[in-house]
Chains A and B, each alone.
Chain A
Amino acid sequence: MNTRWDYLLIPSFVISFLLLAASQITFLQGSLYTDLGLGRLATSASAANYATLLNDEFYVNALLLTIRVSAIATACTLLMGFPVAYVIARMRSRWAMLMLAGVVVSSFVTIVIKVYGIIVIFSADGGLNKLMMALGLLDRPYTIIGNQTGVVIGLMQFTMGFGVLLLYSVVRTIPVSLEEAATVHGASRIRVFWRVILPLSLPGVIVGALMIFNMCMGAFTSAALLGGGRVFTLPVLIQRAVIIETKYGMGAALAAVLLVSVILINLISVFLLKRLRAARLVIA
């Protein structure tokens, strides 16, 4: 009776393979044709798009900016989300359900709606600025809209709900009894965190961090709307190239650079995680 399960795989595999291969191959191929303007492409393939990209400081900086902004947003999400996930996972009351519901709602609602909220809160004549100025904490309005702080906050809004859910399931895999055992033997809370909770959750946290990082690298809503046309991350440039300038070849080449960087960063992280495991710095 075991063989029939294998056959189930075939239709899904074929469809998924076709979608993956066809889309990736055509766009990678498209990146080899230079743009002649008005959406027309050159007739012969060349690496000219890539040569333009890699020699132009603007594009290289955009790639570095994208990586930096995504990495900062990932770190902030983990830092802010882990205690929340921990508290919910260790809660034994009905409040845990309610807190979880708050997180799930946040991950349900599209980032564009949350961006509207961020604009209302942080705009120069928005509530936060009025409050801060009334309290005398600021003497002139400070806005995050149009700079990298705004983009990071937008990305955090995008990933936080998802991140907390992910970390929650990581914490749930650590038995409470281990923490209790450490406490009984005289470990302080801080020591329990460093020697028990952190090592045990680190593999899950790293996997989660990579997923959050990948989400940030592929998102352009925050950068496009909160960057105020001044923060050019790679996804923003891709959208501009394809939709506004109809430079399909260039857009595809930019997308290829983004894809390759994400894959490389993922591979390096997985490799480093394996090394950490081998060195027994991480239990997993």
Chain B
Amino acid sequence: MTTNTTLPATPTRRALWRRVRLGAVAKYAWVTWAYLFLLAPMAVVLGSSLDGTTAYSGVVFPPQELTLKWYRQIPASHYEALGLSLALGLSVALGACLLGIPAALGVVRGRLPGKSLFLAFFRAPMQIPAVVSGVAFLQLYYVFGDATGLFLNATFVGLYLGHLFVATPYVIGTVVSVLQRFNLRLEEAALSMGASRWSTFRRVTLPTIMPGVHAGALYAFMVSFSDVPIAMFLTAPGFLTYPVELFFGIETDFNPSVLASASLVILFSLGLLLLVQRVIGLDAVVHSRG
């Protein structure tokens, strides 16, 4: 770069101020618009679930007359589906951690050749389109069932394996990214001061990778809890996860009580977010994204 002997001409203060202000206004207008786009659908669902005049033909927003009656009319099938989704999400998060933490430690700490190849392998499920994973697991269960007589489609185990497949890479990603920033000296210090290997792992290594584990577990839970394309193929009538139940609800009966149960899920997500912020901090979750 050539050195400038003369500084660029300074614009007059007013012109500068006008330019800065115009740019800032444009920027904030854009951000406001993006947030409106991002949050409006959820706000509308929350709002119209409270509307007493809501008829079956169409949903009214903003609400004309406040009521909680739709919340009392949430069908039992929605609660069952929510229960299944919660149980599935929690166990998938746990399983993804059990698979993902050792994998991340092995890849980052081990002395295997071709580390990046292993990482690429573990990330593969993220590259496969979700709908393909759904079809693939359904086919696998048919073939497996034909061979052994044990059909896993529309069972908890079958659904669990499908979700575990797509959720584990999230835990591996977040733990790997925390491990790569980890200071090895901390472990060396603990070992040299006489701590055993197990105690070093439990007292030094594990606490430091915990933010990554939390974030990964949260992602794994959310992936399972909000998934449609995989659960669509691995569930059956009477055994539906919540998003799939809602998916069919749109096509068959557009009932305001659906909006009420959807609102409960939005409120649950907000509650989960508050809990995350209190316990591990939102920063930890966002920063350890793999």
Contact = CB atoms under 8 A, between A and B. Distances in A.
Q: Do A and B come from one complex?
A: yes
B158 to A, nearest CB: 11
A169 B288 CA distance: 9
A58 interface: no
Interface string A56-93: 00000000000000000000000011011001000000
A86 B176 CA distance: 25
Interface string A97-141: 101111111111111111111111101011100000000000000
Interface residues of B, number: 93
B222 A107 contact: yes
A107 B39 CA distance: 10
Give the one of B27, B28, B226, B270 with max A CB within 10 A: B226
**Interface of B, helix, strand, loop or mixed by DSSP:** helix
Given A105-B273, A117-B41, A186-B7, A83 B126 contact: no
A3 interface: yes
B151 to A, nearest CB: 13
A16 B43 CA distance: 39
A108 B165 contact: no
A44 to B, nearest CB: 16
A242 B134 CA distance: 10
A280 to B, nearest CB: 15
B102 A189 contact: no
A116 B259 contact: yes
Contact of A258 (B45, B105, B112, B129): B129
A278 interface: no
Given A87-B27, A110-B242, A225-B251, 17 more contacts: A5-B105, A8-B102, A9-B106, A9-B118, A10-B106, A27-B136, A105-B39, A110-B226, A111-B228, A113-B41, A120-B61, A157-B37, A164-B38, A169-B289, A220-B131, A242-B233, A252-B139
Interface of A: 1-3, 5-13, 15-17, 19-20, 22-24, 26-27, 29-30, 80-81, 83-84, 87, 97, 99-121, 123, 125-127, 156-157, 160-161, 164-166, 168-169, 172, 186, 189, 211, 214-215, 217-221, 224-225, 235, 238-239, 242-243, 248, 251-252, 255-256, 258-259, 262-263, 266
